Amino acid sequence: MKAAIIILSDPKAGCEEALGRLFNGLAAAYDFKQSGNEVTILFQGTGTRWAGVLTSQDHPAYQLYKAVEDKVAGVSCGCADVFGAKEEAVKNGFELITDNAVPGTSGLPSLRKLTADGYTVLIF
């Protein structure tokens, strides 16, 4: 069993729902990891902004993030460009993913490739 966890929620939304979606996405990744299943975590859309806040030790999801940090593939480069998250992502050690060369962008993750590789895609 293989799962790709896509985090789209926006930390700048200023609501509990965004944190709840992040937390549940990371918790799902933790569950897969603890069970010995393959799992990868990608941040896309406004979710790329988590790269600027999630690595702070005082963040409520920090400990859970650290438990699955080794499963983070990175952030969508094109999305990070659009939503102003690229600099923080790079500064905090996140990989910029560019597998899907979408015209007019610096590239996004390829969900087609993930599904072709047998991953079930879960969106949070």
The pLDDT tens digits for 1-52 are: 999 999 999 999 888 999 999 999 999 999 999 999 999 999 999 999 999 9
Q: How many residues does the chain have?
A: 124
pLDDT band at 68 (very low <50, low <70, confident <90, very high): very high
Helix (H) or strand (E) segment spanning residue 2: strand 2-7
Separation between Cα atoms, residue 25 and residue 42, nearest integer Å: 10
Q: Tell me, what's the pLDDT at 33?
A: 98
Q: What is the pTM of this model?
A: 0.95
Q: Delineate the domains of the chain, giving CATH numbers in brackets.
A: 2-123 (3.40.1260.10)
* CA-CA-CA-CA dihedral for 108, 15, 11, 61, to nearest 10: -110
Q: Above pLDDT 90, what percent of the chain? A: 98
Residue 49, Cβ density class (10 Å: 0-12 exposed, 13-18 middle, ≥19 buried): buried
Q: Tell me, what's the pLDDT at 13?
A: 87
